[in-house]
């Protein structure tokens, strides 16, 4: 990084998330540096690598501030133009700028000014992409640790708790328990020692909100945790983070070291009487450790198997002491609530769900990436307005929220508002924020099977319903997708699913049947089609497919050559035929045919 | 094979010495196992025995933890680890086909290593590169927008470069 | 102060003490909610989900073993949906369990079988893939069959929480979870002490003793062999339970009669061996006290404890008495003194030990206990095995006419009988040591300070003005406490008795399974077995080992005196450290 004596004229932010990294953001950086030096701008421009900005489909991303111009799909050849036109002449390059700036309408601009409300509103992710995540100074310049200072000087622990309670903030990790109540419960316990934990064991397939938050703005999590520690009377905090996130771990470690160096962690924080420090604890690849008691066991060095509650972690948590556990996004909200007040926070969102929620939008949708929206935004707004709708002119079929614990909602639920109650009423859940859009080419039985495979693989094996029950459900689904479903399978799925969700020990087991139960509720006909007619309407269940060659065949013979089992025959320039008995439905002919003459059904 | 008194064991012992006095010994177990894997690429039995004796943690307990968390390898991994993402986005975009292609190519399943010790195939939950789905990661490098053909070609490339001896990996 | 609260069970109001779990509260008012992984002596697992109930206001079913009652709580234990859920849960367990009840060792005395029956599972809905693992036959004492394991985790908790051995743990996860020893190595290579308590708490046949009944039947039918039986004290205190008799009744002469009917040529009594042990051990103790030997001296009769000390406390092996166990002493005498007496080649003698213990199988196979190149004890069968043999051979145990044990190794003192209870060895040793040391007879011979079921008991005896401080420990989980004291305060004790199993041998790993009305390791049952042995002691003419005329005769005719060179050769041994080294846990870790 270039050393700077004066304030930079421009801040150029390069997204360094995995997707952009793949698109050679590092090369870009080198080219930019070179161009800056050439033009003598190196000393007056700050070049920053940020965490994932959440616009993966337009990568690589370069942002120039002030002005907040976003460039997408930037190639090294574009750099001279950007530097020359924008940084020298002050004229953004319209050709490369991403016009649909709705992705980045944030609540907080650089100095916390109230910008206009767009479809998105960034509270948890407010600094992501704005600041250099490895710079404490950057964070401080964005009102970082101001909330902590306020708490330590002006507020009693009880006042902090009351503010958080008043804000109506609910746990962003999935269950949506009232955060303030959790704090109050933990604060009320008498104990020689208490602990604070940040749950960063983000495990839902397709979700990367926590990772982006920590990679993009690690200090906000640290600040939130210190405030939490102050409120409940804890002096030690732990961040339990997936070992699979090396960059996030590195940045967090750096942020903790820096905070410690500056007296923001350690003894007598900001010259107050309060002491607090944070340790990082690594996970090791177990989804179930997102469950509070399993997470605690994991920190204690045990198998991550949940235990019955009560006692709750707020009563008996880590090493038997009262422990406050919140997830990354929840912690990231705390400094904002403290600084701007619960009254303001409660103006955002719905009656029972306040504030915003970050989603990882993925699947068959135009714009994929992280979006943060006020609670109460409809699914349609997220998928169509922010996400840009379904690509390739395909039809929307379902949206899956809540990851493997959630459910799939069909088109008629698109106007459902995203808040804890509405999603639950529709048969899904908020979860930690995965949002997968599926088009008509996705088979709902197959997708239910996919999620169940996941939970089954991640089941800790402790309680019978989850360990044995999900296995049996999976076997039934495997049968159905293979065309071996029998009458009564649906009833068995429902019977097992209901029992598992009511009798399992922990949240993982209790929610494991959700993807099946919700698809059964909304897409029952698709199941029946598989079972009764041995047909997969979406055309994805390999064993239920059949390929036929239509009149469009010109007899080029490519399919015959591609067929791995020699099931295709035909004379050159004559229409070819597939021997259905020999065909293994691999689909290679279908993919190979240049004339769209092979039909899948 | 880990040999007692080798460099890795000494490094490990030093690491444990630093931890032993702070807090419950068991609470360091996962960190120690991470360290072990960093040193060896997997968790050799001899190293786990050393942990048991140094940290006073029963072997059955260490074994239970080592086998619970899928991040830990219990056998020596191949020179190149392939992590195929089976996250939702990748799945929706055809990760199953990629898996099939890799399986056919290498003749191994998840968690297994090829006979020549070149590749270990692992299942990743989500590599966080959903925009590029389907993706796989070989060692630390992400390959995106895969097709079965592309995936096979990438593996071929590794194998041929390996033959020419031009490939270095941080894994071993 | 216990506060009384009102709970409603199935809409009927009950007063119960607060602070209890739903299960505890309902157990106290005439319910018995079905259960599986729960065990009163172990931590709450909440894993099997069989004990679920409905609680008004709760979205999900509640596991009654772990959820506390509160005032006004409305609990439903038997609604139709709940019954179905419970039934389905038990079916799911059955669906992943071999369907071989008829050929299973625990057929008829299996908790899972009973549970499945009472849940009303008459057909299957969810059958699918079953686990398929190899049986682990490596251990001489304990067989592990993962296919029968239903993952209730009682064995894991017991091995960790009660015994602190930690030979067992869960490995893998999810559907692949298996209970095994470290590194999936054979059980024989683990730190397992062979105590067999895992067998006692296992609801199915996932753990069973290695069965030697066929070998024994073969020997019994071999006319070229002299068949000698010896019976441990605790076998007679518990064998009735295997025939449906409530605990607490001793079957001493009945066992002797049954063994004779089974075909044994001679039926001796391990209690004779116990008297002999006391003669040697008390003498060794006095020698150590008077000759500045290593103190405290620790007893060596418990086989599980002996393997434990070799692996976990090898540095304290010099403290352990060199005396062999009563079983091994008696076997040694059978193959020397008695063989000479009846003029038979010892190689033609088969000594079968009927033991309450699984670890004795391991002890019998120890090479250091061989006598003149022959194994001293040839076959060890447990109380369970012998009860099965009696039944299998068509012997009517309940109506059998009692018979005496055979001379000269069948007569025993009351001190020999109480060997089976925790504190008994110490009490017996005091009775004799006192007299050997002071020359006077100890009048008040019932040493109450070291009776009872506290984990660690301490007592003092004055011998000619010299204060002898003793301690008694039972259950390997308490051992670290006493041995920590030994290390930290070397002079605190002179003599320590350690028994591997909770309650001593009466709670051994080879005792009859708990029936449908009791739980394994139940303290009440242990109390009753103890009372049976104390009863035998009180009825004896001689209550001190040195008063046993046949023991006196043995010394006169053969051994000379305690600690003679022949005694040393035949009745004493030395133990050596063993791998793998055990990890001592002071707190539970599982």
Same domain, B88 and B52: no
Tell me the angle at which helices C111-119 and C80-95 cross, rounded to the nearest 10 degrees: 140
| Chain C residues lying within 8 Å of B53, measured CB to CB | 581, 583
Residue A114 belongs to a domain = no
| Burial label, A135 (beta-carbon count in 10 A; 0-12, 13-18, 19+) | middle
Question: How far is the C-alpha of C159 from the C-alpha of C162, rounded, in Å?
Answer: 6
Shortest CA distance from B55: residue in chain C: C583
CATH number at residue A408: 3.10.20.600
Give the N- to C-terminal CA distance of chain B in Å, as an integer: 13
B144–A207 CB contact, under 8 Å: no
Tell me, yes or no, whether A198 and A55 share the same domain: no
Together in a domain, A310 and A207: yes
Per DSSP, what are the bridge partners of residue A200?
A241
The pLDDT value recorded for residue B86 is 85
State residue B168's pLDDT score.
53
Q: Write the residue in B26, B71, B128 that is nearest to A301 by C-beta.
A: B26
Residue ranges of E strands in A328-368: 356-363
- Domain contains B21: yes
Q: What is the pTM of this model?
A: 0.89
B25, B68, B92: residue with CB nearest A363:
B92
pLDDT at A264: 97
| Residue B171 domain-assigned (yes or no) | no
Chain C contact set for B59 (CB, 8 A): 166, 181-183, 190-191, 580, 583
Secondary element (H or E) of residue A397: strand A396-401
Kindly list the distances between the CA atom of residue A518 and the CA atoms of A417, A498, C104, C509, in Å, as whole numbers in the listed order: 17, 11, 42, 50
Do B53 and B113 lie in one domain? The reply is no
DSSP C419: G
Query: Using CA atoms, how far apart are residues A126 and A113, in angstroms rounded to an integer?
Result: 12
Which chain C residue has its CA at the smallest distance from B27's CA?
C589
Average pLDDT over residues C262-280: 98
Is any Cβ of chain A less than 8 angstroms from the Cβ of C559? no
In a domain, B155, yes or no: yes
| Residue C169 sits at the chain B interface (C-beta within 8 Å) | yes
Is the residue at A108 inside a domain? no
Average per-residue pLDDT in chain A?
88
Tell me A114's DSSP state. Answer: B
- pLDDT at residue C327 greater than cutoff 70: yes
Mean per-residue pLDDT for C70-93?
Answer: 97
E strand or H helix at A587, and its extent?
Answer: none
Host H or E run for residue A594? none
Q: Are residues C416 and C269 in contact, defined by beta-carbon separation less than 8 angstroms?
A: yes
Sheet holding A434-439, edge to edge: A369-374, A356-363, A434-439, A396-401, A407-410
In chain A, the number of structural domains is 5
Q: What is the CATH number of the domain that holds A562?
A: 3.30.70.20
Expressed as residue numbers, the domain containing A404 is 356-439
Q: What is the dihedral of CA A457, A459, A464, A470, to 10 degrees?
A: -50
Share of chain A above pLDDT 90, in %: 61
Interface test mutation site (partner B, options C153, C155, C163, C171, max chain B beta carbons within 10 A) = C171
- A467, A475, A499: residue with CB nearest C174: A467
Cβ <8 Å between B130 and A206: yes
Is A448 in the same domain as A578? Answer: no
Mean pLDDT of chain B: 87
Spatial CA neighbour of C510 closest among C519, C501, C499, C522: C501
Ramachandran region, residue B57 (left: φ > 0; alpha: ψ -120 to 50; beta: rest): beta
| Angstroms from A274 CA to nearest CA on chain B | 22
Confidence band of A52 (pLDDT split at 50, 70, 90)? low
- What Cα–Cα distance (Å) separates residue B169 from each residue in B41, B79, B141, C337? 12, 7, 11, 73
The domain in which residue B99 lies consists of: 80-164
Whether residue B85 is found in the same domain as residue B36: no
Does residue A387 register a pLDDT over 90?
Answer: no
Query: Is residue B57 included in any domain, yes or no?
Result: yes
Query: Please, which pLDDT band fits residue A23 given cuts at 50, 70 and 90?
Result: low
Q: What is the mean pLDDT of residues C340-349?
A: 97
Q: How confident is the model at residue C590 (pLDDT cuts 50, 70, 90)?
A: very low
With beta carbons under 8 A apart, name residues in chain C contacting A504: 49, 60
Per-residue pLDDT, averaged over A471-489, amounts to 96
Whole-Å CA distances, C179 to A245, A327, C8, C185: 31, 33, 39, 12
Interface list for B 10-69 with C (CB within 8 A): 26, 45, 48-49, 52-53, 56-64, 67-68
**Per-residue confidence at B166, pLDDT binned at 50, 70, 90?**
low
**Is residue A347 exposed (0-12), middle (13-18) or buried (19+ Cβ within 10 Å)?**
exposed
Q: Distance from B63 to chain A by nearest Cα, in Å?
A: 10
Residues with Cβ < 8 Å from C428, sequence gap 6 or more? C274, C278, C415, C416, C418, C419, C544, C545
Does A174 fall in a domain?
Answer: yes
Q: Do A499 and C89 touch (CB under 8 A)?
A: yes
Q: Convert the pLDDT of each residue in C185-223 to its tens digit.
A: 999 999 999 999 999 999 999 999 999 999 999 999 999
Say which range, A60-64, A111-115, A505-509, C156-160, has the weakest mean pLDDT: A111-115
pLDDT in tens, C282-324: 999 999 999 889 999 999 999 999 999 999 999 999 999 999 9
CATH code at position B153: 3.40.30.10
Q: Do A190 and A325 fall within a single domain?
A: yes
- Could you give the domains of chain C? 4-78 (3.10.20.740), 142-209 (3.30.70.20), 214-571 (3.40.50.1780)
**A416 plus A479 within the same structural domain:** no
Q: Is A111 within the bounds of a domain?
A: no
Asked whether residue A112 carries a pLDDT value surpassing 70, the answer given is no
Query: pLDDT by residue (tens digit) across A539-588?
Result: 888 888 888 899 999 999 999 988 877 889 999 999 999 998 888 777 77
Chain C hits for A472, Cβ within 8 Å: 92, 95, 126, 128
Calculate the alpha carbon distances from A238 to A225, A234, A315, A466 in Å: 9, 11, 17, 29
Measured between alpha carbons, how far is A344 from C389 in angstroms, rounded to an integer?
81
A341-351 pLDDT, tens per residue?
A: 999 899 889 99
For residues A130 and A123, the answer to whether their CB atoms sit within 8 Å is no
Q: Indicate whether A104 belongs to any domain.
A: no
B94 in the same domain as B64? no
Establish if C577 touches chain B: CB-CB under 8 angstroms. Answer: no
Angle between helix C383-392 and helix C213-220 axes, rounded to 10 deg: 50
CB contact under 8 A, A459 and C96: no
pLDDT (0 to 100) of residue A565: 78
Catalytic residue annotation of C: 281, 284, 301, 321, 360, 363, 368, 505
Nearest to B131 among A19, A299, A454 (CB): A19
Q: Which of A99, A121, A150 is at the close of a domain?
A: A99
CA-based nearest distance A327→chain C, Å: 24
Token pair listed for A599:
């039909």
Whole-number pLDDT of residue A119: 62
Sign of CA dihedral B158, B159, B161, B166: positive
Task: Give Cα C123 distance to the centre of its chain.
Answer: 38
Nearest to B67 among C167, C171, C583 (CB): C171
Q: Which residue of A503, A505, A508, A510 is the best one to mutate when testing the C interface, meaning the one whose CB has the most C CBs within 10 A?
A: A503
Tens of pLDDT, residues C472-521: 999 999 999 999 999 999 899 999 999 999 999 999 999 999 988 888 88
Inter-chain contact C47–A471, Cβ cutoff 8 Å? no
Domain count, chain B: 2
Position of tokens 């009654």? C64
User: Which pLDDT does position A92 carry in this prediction?
Assistant: 81
- Reduced to 3 states, what is the DSSP secondary structure of residue A279? strand
Length of chain A: 601
**CB-nearest partner of B131 from A59, A244, A304:** A59
List the single residue in A with minimal CA-CA distance to C90. Answer: A464
Query: Cα distance from B75 to chain A (closest Cα, Å)?
Result: 16
Considering the domain architecture, whether residues A480 and A519 belong to the same structural domain is answered as: yes
Same-domain pairing of B115 and B138 = yes
| Interface probe with A: pick from C45, C62, C92, C123, most Cβ of A within 10 Å | C92
Tell me the ipTM for this assembly: 0.94
Whether C13 has a pLDDT exceeding 50, the answer reads yes
B158 and B85 belong to one structural domain: yes
Note whether A302 and A171 are same-domain residues.
yes
Radius of gyration (Cα) for chain B, nearest Å? 18
Kindly state whether residues A264 and A202 are assigned to the same domain: yes
For residues B151 and B143, the answer to whether their CB atoms sit within 8 Å is yes
Return the half-sphere exposure (C-beta side, CA atoms, 13 A cut-off) of residue C204. 27
Q: Residue C431: is its pLDDT beyond 80?
A: yes
The candidate with the shortest Cα–Cα distance to A7, out of A43, A50, A48, A35, is A43
Rounded to an integer, the average pLDDT of A52-58 is: 68
- C380 falls in which pLDDT band (50, 70, 90)? very high
Pick from A199-213, A252-266, C70-84, C526-540: least confident: A199-213
Q: How far is C185 from chain B (nearest CA, A)?
A: 10
- Residue B25: its chain C contacts at CB < 8 A? none
pLDDT of residue A116: 27
CA atoms of C130 and C133, how far apart (whole Å): 10
Claim to verify: residue B112 and residue B145 sit in the same structural domain:
yes
Same domain for B157 and B97:
yes
User: Is residue C110 pLDDT above 90, yes or no?
Assistant: yes
Q: Are residues A206 and A284 in the same domain?
A: yes
Residue range A232-291, pLDDT digits in tens: 999 999 999 999 888 899 999 999 999 999 999 999 999 999 999 999 999 998 999 999
Residues from chain A that touch C66, judged by Cβ atoms under 8 A, are 308
Closest Cα in chain B, distance from residue C512 (Å): 28
Indicate the pLDDT class of residue A30, thresholds 50, 70 and 90.
confident
What CATH number should be reported for the domain holding residue A196? 3.40.50.11540
Distance from first CA to last CA of chain A, Å, rounded? 57
CA–CA separation, C405 vs C235, rounded Å? 14
CA–CA separation, A287 vs A520, rounded Å?
Answer: 25
User: Is residue B36 a contact partner of residue B43, using CB atoms and an 8 Å limit?
Assistant: yes
Instruction: Return the residue matching tokens 């933990």.
Output: A186
Q: Which chains touch A (3 or more CB pairs under 8 A)?
A: B, C
> Which of A207-216, B3-12, B161-170 has the lowest average pLDDT?
B161-170
Domain end marker among B68, B95, B115: B68
Other chains touching B, judged by 3 or more CB pairs under 8 Å: A, C
Same domain, B60 and B87: no
* Same domain (yes/no): B149, B85: yes
List, edge to edge, every strand of the sheet that includes B136-138: B119-124, B80-85, B136-138, B141-143
In a domain, A165, yes or no: yes
Encode pLDDT of C160-172 as tens digits.
999 999 999 999 9
pLDDT-derived band at A21, boundaries 50, 70, 90: low
Question: Cβ contacts of residue A30 below 8 Å, gap of 6+?
Answer: none
- Which chains does C contact via 3+ CB–CB distances below 8 A? A, B
The answer to whether the Cβ–Cβ distance between C166 and B58 falls below 8 Å is: yes
Closest residue, chain B, to C590 (C-alpha): B61
Picking from B64, B89, B127, the nearest residue to A18 by CB comes out as B127
Last residue of a domain, one of A439, A471, A490: A439
Predicted pLDDT of residue A6: 54
| A185-231 tens-digit pLDDT | 999 999 999 999 999 998 887 788 898 899 999 999 999 999 999 99
My answer on whether A222 and A296 are in the same domain is yes
Instruction: State the CB neighbour count (10 A cutoff) for residue A500.
Output: 32
**Confidence at residue B172, expressed as pLDDT on a 0 to 100 scale:** 35
C590 contacts on B by Cβ (under 8 Å): 61
Pair A465, C86: CB distance under 8 Å: no
Residue B64 shares a structural domain with residue B112: no
Residue A482: inside a domain: yes
Residue in B57, B69, B131 closest to A284 by CB:
B69
Confirm whether B63 is domain-assigned.
yes
- Tell me how many residue pairs between chain A and chain C have CB atoms under 8 A apart: 104
Report pLDDT for A42: 84
If asked whether residues B53 and B96 sit together in one domain, one would say no
Q: Of A506, A532, A558, which closes a domain?
A: A532
Residue A106 has pLDDT above 80, yes or no: no
Put simply, the answer to whether B68 touches C589 (Cβ < 8 Å) is: no
Average pLDDT over chain C, rounded to an integer? 96
Torsional sign, CA A358, A362, A366, A370: positive
Does A293 share its domain with A152?
yes
Which chain A residue's Cα is nearest to C150? A464
Shared domain check, A92 and A19: yes
Position A142 scores a pLDDT of: 84
- The pLDDT assigned to B131 comes to 67
pLDDT value of position A401:
93
Q: Please check the confidence at residue B171 and state whether its pLDDT lies above 60.
A: no
- Does residue A130 form part of some domain? no
How high is the pLDDT of residue A96?
82
B/C interface, count of CB pairs below 8 Å: 57
Backbone angles phi, psi at C157, to 5 degrees: -65, -40
């Amino acid at each position: 990084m270039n050393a700077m004596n004066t304030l930079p004229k421009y801040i150029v932010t390069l997204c360094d998330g995995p997707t952009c990294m793949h698109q050679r953001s590092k090369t870009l950086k080198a080219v930019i540096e070179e161009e800056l030096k050439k033009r003598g701008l190196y000393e007056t421009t700050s070049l920053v690598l940020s965490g994932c900005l959440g616009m993966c489909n337009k990568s690589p991303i370069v942002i120039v501030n002030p002005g907040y111009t976003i460039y997408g799909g930037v190639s090294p050849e574009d750099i001279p133009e950007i530097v020359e036109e924008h940084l020298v002449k002050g004229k953004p390059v319209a050709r490369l700028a991403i016009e649909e700036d709705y992705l980045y309408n944030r609540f907080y601009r650089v100095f916390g000014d109230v910008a206009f409300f767009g479809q998105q509103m960034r509270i948890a992710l407010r600094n992501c992409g704005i600041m250099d995540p490895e710079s404490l100074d950057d964070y401080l310049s964005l009102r970082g640790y101001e909330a902590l200072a306020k708490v330590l000087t002006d507020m009693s622990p009880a006042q902090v708790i009351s503010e958080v309670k008043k804000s109506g903030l609910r746990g962003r990790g999935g269950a949506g328990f009232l955060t303030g109540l959790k704090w109050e419960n933990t604060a009320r316990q008498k104990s020689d020692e208490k602990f604070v934990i940040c749950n960063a064991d983000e495990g839902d397939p397709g979700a990367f909100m926590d990772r982006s938050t920590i990679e993009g703005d690690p200090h906000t999590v640290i600040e939130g945790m210190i405030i939490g520690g102050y409120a409940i009377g804890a002096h030690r905090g732990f961040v339990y983070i997936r070992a699979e996130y090396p960059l996030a771990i590195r940045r967090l470690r750096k942020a903790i070291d820096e905070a410690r160096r500056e007296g923001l962690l350690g003894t007598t924080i900001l010259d107050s009487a309060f002491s607090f420090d944070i340790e990082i604890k690594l996970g090791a690849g177990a989804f179930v450790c997102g469950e509070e008691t399993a997470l605690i066991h994991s920190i204690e060095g045990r198998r991550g198997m949940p235990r019955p509650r009560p006692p709750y972690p707020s009563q008996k948590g880590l090493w038997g002491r009262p422990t406050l556990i919140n997830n990354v996004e929840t912690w990231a909200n705390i400094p904002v609530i403290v600084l701007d007040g619960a009254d303001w926070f409660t103006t955002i969102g719905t009656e029972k769900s306040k504030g915003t929620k970050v989603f990882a939008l993925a699947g068959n949708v135009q714009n994929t990436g992280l979006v943060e929206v006020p609670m109460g935004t409809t699914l349609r707004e997220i998928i169509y307005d922010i996400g840009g709708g379904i690509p390739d002119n395909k039809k929307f079929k379902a949206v899956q929220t809540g990851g493997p614990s959630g459910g799939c909602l069909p088109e008629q639920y698109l106007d459902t508002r995203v808040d804890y109650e509405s999603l639950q009423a529709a048969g899904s859940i908020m979860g930690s924020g995965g949002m997968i859009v599926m088009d008509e080419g996705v088979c709902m039985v197959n997708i239910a099977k996919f999620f169940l495979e996941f939970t089954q693989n991640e089941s800790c094996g402790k309680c019978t319903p989850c360990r044995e029950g999900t296995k049996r459900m999976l076997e039934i689904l495997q049968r159905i997708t293979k065309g071996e479903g029998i009458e009564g399978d649906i009833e068995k799925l429902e019977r097992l699913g209901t029992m598992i969700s009511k009798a399992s020990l922990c949240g993982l087991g209790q929610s494991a049947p959700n993807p099946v139960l919700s698809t059964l509720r909304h897409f029952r006909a698709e199941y029946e089609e598989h079972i009764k007619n041995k047909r997969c309407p979406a055309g994805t269940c390999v064993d239920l497919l059949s390929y036929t060659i239509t009149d469009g065949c010109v007899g080029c013979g490519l399919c015959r050559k591609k067929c791995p089992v020699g099931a295709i025959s035909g004379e050159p320039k004559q229409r070819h035929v597939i021997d259905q008995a020999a065909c293994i439905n691999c689909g290679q002919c279908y993919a190979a045919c240049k004339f769209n003459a092979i039909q899948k059904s | 094979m880990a040999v007692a008194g080798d460099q890795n064991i000494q490094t490990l012992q030093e690491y444990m010495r630093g931890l032993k006095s702070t807090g419950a010994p068991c609470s360091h177990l996962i960190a120690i196992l991470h360290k072990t894997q960093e040193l060896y690429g997997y968790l050799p039995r001899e190293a786990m025995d050393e942990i048991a004796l140094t940290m006073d943690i029963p072997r059955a307990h260490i074994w239970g933890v080592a086998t619970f968390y899928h991040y830990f390898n219990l056998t020596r991994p191949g020179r190149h680890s392939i992590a195929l993402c089976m996250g939702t986005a990748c799945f929706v975009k055809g990760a199953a086909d990629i898996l099939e292609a890799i399986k056919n190519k290498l003749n191994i399943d998840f968690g297994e290593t090829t006979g020549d010790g070149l590749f270990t195939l692992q299942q990743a939950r989500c590599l966080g590169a959903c925009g590029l789905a389907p993706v796989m990661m070989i060692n630390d490098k992400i390959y995106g927008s895969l097709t079965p053909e592309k995936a096979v070609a990438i593996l071929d490339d590794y194998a041929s470069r390996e033959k020419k001896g031009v490939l270095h990996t941080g894994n071993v | 102060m216990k506060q009384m609260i009102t709970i409603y069970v199935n809409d009927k109001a009950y007063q119960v003490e607060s602070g209890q779990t739903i299960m505890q509260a309902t157990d106290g008012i005439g319910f018995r909610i079905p259960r599986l992984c729960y065990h009163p002596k172990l931590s709450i697992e909440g894993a099997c989900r069989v004990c679920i109930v409905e609680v008004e206001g709760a979205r999900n079913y509640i596991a009654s073993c772990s959820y506390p009652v509160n005032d006004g709580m409305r609990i439903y234990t038997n609604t139709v949906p709940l019954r179905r859920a419970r039934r389905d849960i038990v079916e799911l367990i059955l669906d992943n369990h071999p369907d071989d009840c008829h050929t299973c060792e625990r057929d008829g005395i299996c908790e899972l079988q009973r549970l499945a029956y009472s849940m009303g599972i008459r057909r299957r809905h969810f059958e699918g893939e079953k686990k398929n693992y190899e049986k682990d036959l490596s251990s001489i004492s304990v067989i592990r069959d993962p296919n029968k394991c239903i993952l209730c985790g009682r064995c894991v908790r017991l091995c960790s929480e009660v015994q602190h051995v930690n030979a067992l743990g869960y490995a893998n996860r999810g559907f692949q979870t298996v209970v095994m020893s470290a590194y999936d190595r054979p059980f024989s290579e683990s730190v397992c002490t062979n105590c067999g308590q895992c067998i006692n708490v296992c609801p199915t046949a996932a753990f069973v003793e290695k069965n030697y009944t066929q070998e024994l039947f073969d020997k019994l039918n071999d006319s070229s062999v002299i068949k000698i039986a010896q019976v441990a004290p605790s076998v007679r205190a518990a064998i009735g339970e295997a025939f449906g008799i409530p605990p607490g009744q001793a079957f001493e002469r009945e066992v002797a009669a049954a063994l004779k009917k089974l075909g044994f040529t001679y039926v001796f009594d391990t209690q004779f061996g116990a008297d002999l042990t006391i003669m040697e051990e008390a003498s060794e103790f006095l020698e150590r006290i008077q000759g500045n030997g290593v103190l405290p001296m620790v007893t060596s009769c418990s086989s599980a404890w002996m393997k434990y000390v070799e692996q976990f406390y090898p540095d304290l092996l010099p403290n352990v008495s060199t005396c062999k166990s009563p079983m091994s002493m008696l076997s040694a005498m059978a193959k020397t003194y008695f063989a000479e007496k009846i003029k038979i080649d010892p190689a033609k003698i088969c000594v079968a030990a009927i033991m309450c213990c699984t670890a004795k199988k391991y002890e019998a196979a120890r090479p250091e206990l061989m006598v003149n190149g022959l194994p001293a004890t040839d076959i060890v069968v447990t109380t369970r095995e012998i009860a099965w043999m009696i039944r299998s051979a068509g012997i009517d145990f309940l109506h059998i006419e009692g018979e005496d044990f055979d001379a000269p190794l069948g007569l025993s003192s009351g001190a020999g009988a109480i060997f089976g209870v925790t504190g008994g060895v110490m009490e017996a040793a005091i009775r004799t040591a006192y007299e050997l040391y002071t020359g006077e007879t100890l009048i008040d011979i019932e040493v109450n300070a070291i009776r009872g079921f506290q984990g660690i008991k301490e007592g003092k005896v004055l011998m000619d003005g010299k204060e002898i401080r003793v301690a008694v420990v039972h259950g390997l989980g308490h051992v670290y406490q006493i041995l920590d004291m030994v290390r930290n305060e070397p002079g605190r004790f002179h003599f320590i008795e350690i028994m591997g199993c909770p309650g001593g041998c009466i709670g051994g790993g080879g005792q009859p399974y708990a029936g449908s009305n009791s739980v394994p390791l139940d303290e009440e049952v242990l109390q009753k077995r103890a009372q049976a042995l104390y009863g035998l002691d009180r009825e004896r003419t001689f209550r001190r080992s040195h008063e046993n005329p046949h023991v006196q005769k043995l010394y006169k005719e053969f051994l000379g005196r305690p600690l003679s060179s022949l005694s040393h050769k035949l009745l004493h041994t030395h133990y050596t450290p063993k791998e793998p080294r055990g990890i001592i846990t002071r707190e539970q870790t599982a």
